[in-house]
C-alpha cells in the first residue's frame, strides 16, 4: 500500500523532472517493527499519541534491522493513563474558556 502511494506520488510530481522510478519490494524493502499494540478497536488515537510522544521522548538511536527497542516504548497502562491525562486537559481548558466568556444571562 505504501509503495503504491509512493509510486503514484512520484509519477505525478517527480517523473517529469527526475525520470521514472519503480517502488518495488526489491527497490524498497519493507519492515514492520514490533511496537506496542492496542488491545481493542477504540484506542488507536491514544496509541498514536503515545507513539508520537515516545518518538520524541525516547528517539531511535539504532536504525539497523530488525528494530529492537520499539516494543518497550510504553505499555498499555501508560496508554490508559494518557486517556485520563487528556480528559483532565480538556476539562481544564473548558473551565478556562468558561471563565473568559461573559455570562450570557446577565
Q: What is the pLDDT of residues 62-94, one digit of tens each?
A: 888 888 778 888 999 999 999 999 999 999 999
DSSP structure class, residue 103: P
Residues 1-38 pLDDT 10s: 789 999 999 999 999 999 989 999 898 888 888 889 99
pLDDT higher than 90, residue 103: no
Q: Give me the half-sphere count of Cα atoms (radius 13 Å) on the Cβ side of residue 70.
A: 19
Q: Is the peptide bond before 85 cis (omega within 30 degrees of 0)?
A: no
Q: Give me the half-sphere count of Cα atoms (radius 13 Å) on the Cβ side of residue 1.
A: 0
Locate all alpha helices (DSSP H) within 19-103, ordered by sequence: 44-57, 76-100
Amino acid at each position: 500500500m505504501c509503495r503504491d502511494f509512493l509510486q503514484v506520488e512520484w509519477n505525478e510530481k517527480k517523473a517529469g523532472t527526475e525520470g521514472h522510478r519503480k517502488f518495488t519490494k526489491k527497490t524498497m524493502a519493507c519492515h514492520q517493527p514490533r511496537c506496542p499494540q492496542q488491545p481493542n478497536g477504540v484506542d488507536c488515537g491514544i496509541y498514536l499519541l503515545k507513539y508520537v510522544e515516545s518518538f520524541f521522548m525516547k528517539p531511535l538511536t539504532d536504525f539497523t534491522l530488525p528494530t529492537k527497542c520499539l516494543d518497550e516504548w510504553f505499555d498499555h497502562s501508560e496508554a490508559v493513563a494518557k486517556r485520563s491525562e487528556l480528559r483532565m486537559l480538556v476539562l481544564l481548558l473548558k473551565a478556562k474558556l468558561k471563565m473568559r466568556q461573559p455570562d450570557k444571562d446577565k
